[in-house]
A and B are shown apart, each in its own frame.
Chain A
């Protein structure tokens, strides 16, 4: 078991190393200098007088020094890792002078409360519906096309539809934000109720789209399992249909758990766009603001946070997998 875990941890560390290095390298290999881009934005505001060009020149030098771009690349790379381990991700330009780390950390609670329930519930409900559809021809014929249409919907567009119906037309649910402007976050009943009212539509848009994919996967897996030799053998021994289904479900859920780990990236993408629709103050919305304002340190910080979150989630799923699949436990404890 320890061997399995050390192997997994090692692979995730390598992955993190590569991802973080990409985060450092991509801005540097791209054509054009981000600093001149920033400076040109300031320069646009002031006309091309001699004084303005001098200020532009000084600003360019200042930023080159501030981002330490005038040093050789290996020094920059070393500094990048040192800053990373001391939690120094730089200063946000758009929310100046807030540090990137604190901007990002302020968004995390909203993301956890929004993403965890929608991912876990859609996984659970989707698997159940898929397993049910697999053994009911009528339901299968009716539901399968619906599942396929659901997985084809862009997450955020379903969010737009939901806001349009429940916000614009019916006026029953708020259209944006995580809570009303008049509220301050606290553990009062009124605030929690207000929070849930804002939470339900983003939750639904993520939940419904993701559900389709899980249901399709489960439906196909169950059909394979019910046709497999062990199911037939159990059937010929006179085992009840219920028992056979129970066993096939337990086998079919394993690839689905692996799929959950692999799908996290797509779900994160869906969450980013959904948060933009709802102006929901999670990491997606912050990232959007950063992109719109060309706030490069913040974009890079968001990238790192997303990577760390996805790797952590993958690791947790790997650990869980060890418990639900006895083969892994045995292979690594005896071999």
Chain B
């Protein structure tokens, strides 16, 4: 039993290490992690500090150029990157946690609670999150990065709840769970020893998706002008660039880098998720 378990673990690990999607995904992710660790050493200006030149393309002094107000765009990008990580981790984490609790409880208890919680989940699922976020954020005068993460987490959980409930329902009727029940194991023991280990990979995958989803949500929200008010954000940089005619002026260094960062950050998470999906669902490994 122990040996086969260990072999099985190695099998998944082996699959990860030979999976190109995983390698690409983790590579891109590591690049951005390194960028936020090493990047600040090369930041010489505050995000909203006049950096000497206005509207200049990338140069040695300003790796990503400056905007027409003379702000150094590299400094803005690096600072915005921190906020993006925080929102992904916190927003995705809160959504996953709430969704996990509600979905698991509904799926495991069944009956009345299941009906009630799923009705609530489905109702919240239909109401567009963005509309809800807009109405909440527009009435808040000061919005910190943490506050926005919490709001995004609180509105993002219905997806998780649905997925976790479906997984719980399928796990709960498996034979090994019935066996534990027959042998008189308590609910807590069944949950921690039979269900949780089988659920862990799944929940982690859901978390990764929520991480990416939260980043895309905050980018959209900041672009509408409802982003964090206490710091720079990637969406806010893009909003500035559009509002101050970067498109007509052709300041590509203002509008391209933030979008590239968002796209590849989120894509790397999706790649890792896809690789995990293939590792745990061998049927999807078509290549």
Measuring CB to CB, which residues of chain A are less than 8 angstroms from any residue of chain B?
Answer: 11-12, 14-15, 18-19, 22-23, 26-27, 30-32, 34, 37, 134, 137, 140-141, 144-145, 148-149, 151-157, 160-161, 163-164, 167-169, 175, 220, 223-224, 227, 261-262, 264-266, 268-270, 272-273, 276-277, 287-288, 291-292, 294, 296, 299-300, 302-303, 306-307, 310-311, 314
Count CB-based A-B contacts (< 8 Å): 167
A-B contact pairs, 20 of them (CB 8 A): A18-B123, A19-B127, A26-B136, A31-B140, A152-B216, A152-B266, A154-B216, A154-B220, A157-B238, A157-B258, A160-B241, A167-B247, A175-B248, A266-B128, A266-B130, A269-B217, A272-B130, A272-B220, A296-B139, A310-B127
Cβ of B226 within 8 Å of any chain A Cβ, yes or no, is yes
Report whether A269 and B263 are in contact in the complex, using a CB–CB cutoff of 8 Å: no
Q: Establish whether residues B128 and A223, one from each chain, have CB atoms under 8 Å apart when the complex forms.
A: no
Question: Judging by beta carbons under 8 Å apart, are B287 and A303 in contact?
Answer: no
Complex contact A160–B247 (CB within 8 A): yes
Query: Any chain A CB within 8 A of the CB of B58?
Result: no
Is B200 interfacial (CB-CB < 8 Å)?
Answer: no
Q: How distant is the Cα of A34 from the Cα of B139 in the complex, in angstroms?
A: 7
State A144–B20 Cα separation when bound (angstroms). 12
Closest to B212 in A: A152
The answer on a CB contact under 8 Å between B128 and A22 is no
Instruction: Categorize the interface residue count of chain B.
Output: 35 or more
Q: Complex Cα distance A34/B138, Å?
A: 10
**Other-chain contact of A269, B126, B128, B247, B284 (Cβ < 8 Å):** B128
B270 touches A141 (CB 8 A): no
Looking across the interface, which residue of chain B has its beta carbon closest to that of A277? B242
Classify the interface of chain A: helix, strand, loop or mixed: helix
Q: Does B131 contact A (CB under 8 A)?
A: yes
| A303, chain B: closest CB distance, angstroms | 5
Establish whether residues B135 and A287, one from each chain, have CB atoms under 8 Å apart when the complex forms: no
**CA–CA, A298 to B132, complex, Å?**
15
Of the residues B136, B141, B284, contact of A32 by C-beta under 8 Å: B141
Q: Is the CB of B135 within 8 A of A26?
A: yes
In the complex, are the beta carbons of B128 and A27 less than 8 A apart? no
**Chain B 245-259 near chain A by CB (<8 Å), digits 1 or 0:** 001101010011011
CB nearest to B259 among chain A residues:
A157
Cβ contact within 8 Å between B220 and A269: yes
